[in-house]
Protein backbone atom coordinates (compact mmCIF):
# COMPACT_ATOMS: atom_id res chain seq x y z
CA UNK A 1 0.00 0.00 0.00
CA UNK A 2 1.20 3.44 -0.92
CA UNK A 3 0.80 5.62 2.16
CA UNK A 4 2.11 9.08 2.76
CA UNK A 5 0.95 11.68 5.25
CA UNK A 6 -1.10 14.17 3.31
CA UNK A 7 0.23 17.68 3.81
CA UNK A 8 0.10 19.09 7.27
CA UNK A 9 -2.52 18.92 9.99
CA UNK A 10 -6.02 20.15 9.23
CA UNK A 11 -9.59 18.97 9.24
CA UNK A 12 -10.76 17.15 6.09
CA UNK A 13 -13.40 19.13 4.28
CA UNK A 14 -12.34 22.55 5.59
CA UNK A 15 -11.66 25.14 2.91
CA UNK A 16 -7.92 25.01 2.25
CA UNK A 17 -7.57 27.46 -0.62
CA UNK A 18 -9.66 30.42 -1.69
CA UNK A 19 -8.67 32.36 -4.80
CA UNK A 20 -10.93 35.22 -5.83
CA UNK A 21 -10.92 37.49 -8.85
CA UNK A 22 -7.50 36.44 -10.15
CA UNK A 23 -6.43 38.60 -13.06
CA UNK A 24 -3.31 38.37 -15.17
CA UNK A 25 -2.11 39.99 -18.37
CA UNK A 26 1.12 39.57 -20.27
CA UNK A 27 1.53 42.93 -22.03
CA UNK A 28 -1.70 43.47 -23.93
CA UNK A 29 -2.67 39.79 -23.72
CA UNK A 30 -5.22 39.35 -20.93
CA UNK A 31 -4.88 35.74 -19.86
CA UNK A 32 -6.93 35.47 -16.65
CA UNK A 33 -10.15 37.47 -16.27
CA UNK A 34 -11.37 37.16 -12.70
CA UNK A 35 -10.85 33.50 -11.83
CA UNK A 36 -12.38 32.14 -8.60
CA UNK A 37 -11.34 28.81 -7.14
CA UNK A 38 -12.14 27.10 -3.84
CA UNK A 39 -10.42 23.88 -2.82
CA UNK A 40 -11.27 21.90 0.31
CA UNK A 41 -8.86 19.65 2.15
CA UNK A 42 -8.77 16.17 0.64
CA UNK A 43 -10.46 17.32 -2.55
CA UNK A 44 -9.21 16.81 -6.12
CA UNK A 45 -10.02 19.54 -8.62
CA UNK A 46 -9.37 18.87 -12.32
CA UNK A 47 -8.72 21.97 -14.39
CA UNK A 48 -9.44 21.39 -18.07
CA UNK A 49 -9.66 23.58 -21.14
CA UNK A 50 -8.17 24.29 -24.55
CA UNK A 51 -4.55 25.24 -25.11
CA UNK A 52 -3.89 28.85 -24.14
CA UNK A 53 -6.97 29.12 -21.90
CA UNK A 54 -4.82 30.04 -18.88
CA UNK A 55 -4.61 26.76 -16.91
CA UNK A 56 -0.86 26.83 -16.30
CA UNK A 57 -1.05 30.50 -15.41
CA UNK A 58 -3.66 29.74 -12.73
CA UNK A 59 -1.38 27.10 -11.15
CA UNK A 60 1.61 29.45 -11.30
CA UNK A 61 -0.38 32.23 -9.64
CA UNK A 62 -1.50 29.89 -6.83
CA UNK A 63 2.08 28.80 -6.29
CA UNK A 64 3.55 32.32 -6.27
CA UNK A 65 5.62 31.59 -9.40
CA UNK A 66 3.61 34.26 -11.22
CA UNK A 67 2.32 37.44 -9.61
CA UNK A 68 -1.32 38.13 -10.57
CA UNK A 69 -2.34 41.71 -11.42
CA UNK A 70 -5.40 41.53 -9.19
CA UNK A 71 -7.40 39.28 -6.89
CA UNK A 72 -6.69 37.48 -3.63
CA UNK A 73 -5.25 34.12 -2.67
CA UNK A 74 -5.64 32.73 0.84
CA UNK A 75 -4.70 29.41 2.40
CA UNK A 76 -6.28 28.16 5.64
CA UNK A 77 -4.32 29.50 8.57
CA UNK A 78 -2.28 31.88 6.40
CA UNK A 79 -2.63 35.50 5.35
CA UNK A 80 -4.98 36.55 2.57
CA UNK A 81 -2.64 37.92 -0.10
CA UNK A 82 -4.15 40.75 -2.13
CA UNK A 83 -2.63 41.44 -5.54
CA UNK A 84 -2.71 44.68 -7.47
CA UNK A 85 -0.93 46.79 -4.91
CA UNK A 86 2.60 45.89 -3.87
CA UNK A 87 3.00 42.36 -2.59
CA UNK A 88 5.84 41.77 -0.17
CA UNK A 89 8.43 39.04 -0.82
CA UNK A 90 7.35 37.54 2.50
CA UNK A 91 3.73 37.20 1.31
CA UNK A 92 4.88 35.54 -1.92
CA UNK A 93 7.15 33.21 0.03
CA UNK A 94 4.24 32.27 2.30
CA UNK A 95 2.20 31.28 -0.78
CA UNK A 96 5.07 29.27 -2.23
CA UNK A 97 5.35 27.39 1.00
CA UNK A 98 1.77 26.06 0.84
CA UNK A 99 1.87 24.16 -2.42
CA UNK A 100 4.23 22.16 -4.61
CA UNK A 101 4.14 21.81 -8.40
CA UNK A 102 4.62 18.77 -10.59
CA UNK A 103 5.59 19.91 -14.07
CA UNK A 104 4.81 18.51 -17.51
CA UNK A 105 8.54 18.19 -18.36
CA UNK A 106 9.49 16.90 -14.87
CA UNK A 107 12.07 19.75 -14.44
CA UNK A 108 14.59 17.56 -12.58
CA UNK A 109 18.15 18.87 -12.21
CA UNK A 110 20.09 16.85 -14.82
CA UNK A 111 23.40 16.85 -12.95
CA UNK A 112 21.98 15.69 -9.64
CA UNK A 113 21.00 12.19 -8.61
CA UNK A 114 17.40 11.24 -7.93
CA UNK A 115 17.97 11.53 -4.17
CA UNK A 116 19.73 14.91 -4.47
CA UNK A 117 16.87 16.21 -6.59
CA UNK A 118 14.36 15.23 -3.91
CA UNK A 119 16.18 16.58 -0.84
CA UNK A 120 17.16 19.91 -2.45
CA UNK A 121 13.96 21.73 -1.38
CA UNK A 122 13.65 20.23 2.11
CA UNK A 123 17.33 20.91 2.93
CA UNK A 124 18.09 24.16 1.06
CA UNK A 125 14.75 25.92 1.35
CA UNK A 126 13.06 24.38 4.37
CA UNK A 127 16.33 23.97 6.32
CA UNK A 128 15.49 20.47 7.42
CA UNK A 129 18.26 18.18 8.65
CA UNK A 130 19.88 16.34 5.77
CA UNK A 131 19.74 12.93 7.44
CA UNK A 132 16.04 13.36 8.11
CA UNK A 133 15.37 14.57 4.54
CA UNK A 134 17.25 11.57 3.11
CA UNK A 135 15.28 9.16 5.25
CA UNK A 136 12.01 10.77 4.21
CA UNK A 137 13.02 10.77 0.51
CA UNK A 138 13.97 7.09 0.63
CA UNK A 139 10.64 6.19 2.18
CA UNK A 140 8.75 8.09 -0.51
CA UNK A 141 10.89 6.60 -3.31
CA UNK A 142 10.21 3.13 -1.96
CA UNK A 143 6.50 3.80 -2.14
CA UNK A 144 6.64 4.64 -5.83
CA UNK A 145 8.90 1.63 -6.47
CA UNK A 146 12.02 3.65 -7.24
CA UNK A 147 14.26 3.24 -4.20
CA UNK A 148 16.76 1.24 -6.28
CA UNK A 149 17.17 4.29 -8.57
CA UNK A 150 18.08 6.78 -5.83
CA UNK A 151 21.73 7.23 -6.89
CA UNK A 152 21.02 7.37 -10.62
CA UNK A 153 20.76 10.47 -12.76
CA UNK A 154 17.52 11.58 -14.47
CA UNK A 155 18.79 10.65 -17.96
CA UNK A 156 19.15 7.04 -16.79
CA UNK A 157 15.40 6.87 -16.04
CA UNK A 158 12.37 6.46 -18.30
CA UNK A 159 9.95 9.38 -18.62
CA UNK A 160 7.46 7.63 -16.34
CA UNK A 161 10.14 7.05 -13.73
CA UNK A 162 11.33 10.66 -13.97
CA UNK A 163 7.79 11.92 -13.44
CA UNK A 164 7.35 9.65 -10.42
CA UNK A 165 10.54 11.24 -9.04
CA UNK A 166 8.99 14.64 -9.84
CA UNK A 167 5.96 13.66 -7.76
CA UNK A 168 8.14 12.44 -4.87
CA UNK A 169 10.06 15.71 -4.99
CA UNK A 170 6.78 17.60 -4.54
CA UNK A 171 5.59 15.26 -1.74
CA UNK A 172 8.90 15.64 0.10
CA UNK A 173 8.07 19.31 0.67
CA UNK A 174 5.02 18.18 2.68
CA UNK A 175 2.82 20.79 1.04
CA UNK A 176 -0.82 21.33 1.88
CA UNK A 177 -1.66 21.41 -1.82
CA UNK A 178 -0.23 19.53 -4.80
CA UNK A 179 -0.44 21.23 -8.20
CA UNK A 180 -0.04 19.06 -11.31
CA UNK A 181 0.43 20.67 -14.71
CA UNK A 182 -0.37 18.04 -17.36
CA UNK A 183 1.78 15.48 -15.56
CA UNK A 184 1.43 12.80 -18.25
CA UNK A 185 1.29 14.72 -21.50
CA UNK A 186 5.04 14.43 -22.20
CA UNK A 187 5.01 10.66 -21.71
CA UNK A 188 4.87 7.82 -24.20
CA UNK A 189 1.38 6.32 -24.03
CA UNK A 190 2.52 3.10 -22.35
CA UNK A 191 4.07 5.07 -19.47
CA UNK A 192 1.01 7.21 -18.71
CA UNK A 193 -0.69 4.56 -16.57
CA UNK A 194 2.09 4.19 -14.00
CA UNK A 195 2.05 7.93 -13.29
CA UNK A 196 -1.76 8.18 -13.16
CA UNK A 197 -1.76 5.24 -10.73
CA UNK A 198 0.52 7.13 -8.32
CA UNK A 199 -1.71 10.22 -8.52
CA UNK A 200 -4.82 8.10 -7.96
CA UNK A 201 -3.25 6.53 -4.86
CA UNK A 202 -2.49 10.02 -3.53
CA UNK A 203 -6.12 11.02 -4.09
CA UNK A 204 -7.26 7.97 -2.15
CA UNK A 205 -4.97 9.04 0.70
CA UNK A 206 -6.77 12.37 0.78
CA UNK A 207 -4.04 14.58 -0.59
CA UNK A 208 -5.48 17.87 -1.81
CA UNK A 209 -4.73 18.41 -5.49
CA UNK A 210 -5.40 20.65 -8.44
CA UNK A 211 -4.63 18.76 -11.64
CA UNK A 212 -4.46 20.23 -15.11
CA UNK A 213 -5.08 17.32 -17.44
CA UNK A 214 -6.39 16.26 -20.82
CA UNK A 215 -7.04 12.74 -19.50
CA UNK A 216 -10.80 13.10 -19.20
CA UNK A 217 -11.40 9.48 -18.16
CA UNK A 218 -8.91 9.97 -15.35
CA UNK A 219 -10.52 13.27 -14.33
CA UNK A 220 -13.92 11.60 -14.20
CA UNK A 221 -12.63 8.83 -11.99
CA UNK A 222 -10.47 10.82 -9.58
CA UNK A 223 -11.75 14.41 -9.43
CA UNK A 224 -14.37 15.73 -7.03
CA UNK A 225 -14.87 18.78 -9.20
CA UNK A 226 -14.06 19.63 -12.82
CA UNK A 227 -13.42 23.26 -13.73
CA UNK A 228 -13.58 24.06 -17.45
CA UNK A 229 -11.72 27.20 -18.54
CA UNK A 230 -11.72 28.94 -21.89
CA UNK A 231 -10.27 32.33 -22.82
CA UNK A 232 -9.22 33.16 -19.26
CA UNK A 233 -12.61 32.59 -17.64
CA UNK A 234 -14.25 29.65 -15.90
CA UNK A 235 -17.04 28.65 -18.27
CA UNK A 236 -18.43 25.79 -16.23
CA UNK A 237 -17.67 23.87 -13.04
CA UNK A 238 -19.26 21.00 -11.20
CA UNK A 239 -19.32 17.26 -10.66
CA UNK A 240 -17.17 15.41 -13.25
CA UNK A 241 -20.14 13.44 -14.59
CA UNK A 242 -22.11 16.61 -15.14
CA UNK A 243 -19.36 18.73 -16.72
CA UNK A 244 -17.82 15.95 -18.84
CA UNK A 245 -20.90 13.91 -19.77
CA UNK A 246 -23.68 16.43 -19.74
CA UNK A 247 -22.16 19.90 -20.09
CA UNK A 248 -24.43 22.92 -19.79
CA UNK A 249 -22.40 25.15 -22.08
CA UNK A 250 -21.77 24.78 -25.79
CA UNK A 251 -18.04 25.63 -25.36
CA UNK A 252 -17.62 22.80 -22.83
CA UNK A 253 -19.51 20.41 -25.08
CA UNK A 254 -17.29 21.23 -28.06
CA UNK A 255 -14.12 20.82 -26.00
CA UNK A 256 -15.16 17.44 -24.61
CA UNK A 257 -16.22 16.22 -28.06
CA UNK A 258 -12.88 17.28 -29.55
CA UNK A 259 -10.95 15.31 -26.94
CA UNK A 260 -13.14 12.24 -27.32
CA UNK A 261 -13.13 12.37 -31.14
CA UNK A 262 -9.90 14.12 -32.22
CA UNK A 263 -10.45 13.36 -35.93
Nearest-angstrom CA–CA distance, 254 and 78: 39
Nearer to Mg ion, 182 or 225 (CB): 182
Q: How far is the CB of 123 from ligand ATP (least distance, A)?
A: 29
Residues 25-44, one symbol each (x = binds ligand ATP by CB under 6 A, - = not), give: -x--x-x-------------
- How far apart CA 22 and CA 67 sit, in angstroms, is 10
Q: Which one among 56, 163, 184, 213 touches ligand ATP, defined by CB under 6 A?
A: 56
Does 56 interact with Mg ion (rule: CB under 5 A)?
yes
Under 8 Å between Cβ of 81 and 91: yes
Q: Does 105 bind ligand ATP (CB under 6 A)?
A: no
Q: How far is CA 109 from CA 10, 136, 155, 174, 186, in A?
A: 32, 19, 10, 20, 17
Choice from 1, 9, 28, 51 touching ligand ATP (CB under 6 A): 51
By CB under 6 A, is residue 63 in contact with ligand ATP?
no
Q: By CB under 6 A, how many residues form the interface with ligand ATP?
A: 11
Residue 57 CB, nearest approach to ligand ATP (Å): 3
Q: Contact between 53 and Mg ion (CB under 5 A)?
A: no
CA distances from 53 to 60, 203, 228, 262 (A): 14, 25, 9, 18
Q: How far is the CB of 21 from ligand ATP (least distance, A)?
A: 17
Cα 3 to Cα 14: distance, rounded to the nearest angstrom = 22
* 52 closest CA partner among 196, 204, 212: 212
Interacting residues toward ligand ATP by CB under 6 A:
26, 29, 31, 49, 51-57
| Contact positions vs Mg ion (CB under 5 A) | 56
Amino acid sequence: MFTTDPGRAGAPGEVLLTAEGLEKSFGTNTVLRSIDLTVRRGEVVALVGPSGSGKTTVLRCLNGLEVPDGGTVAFAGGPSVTFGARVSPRELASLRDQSAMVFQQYNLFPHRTVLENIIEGPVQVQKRRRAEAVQDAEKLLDRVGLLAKKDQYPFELSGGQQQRVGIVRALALRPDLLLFDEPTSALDPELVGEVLKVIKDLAEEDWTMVIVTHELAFAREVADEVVFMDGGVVVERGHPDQVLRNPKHERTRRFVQRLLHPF
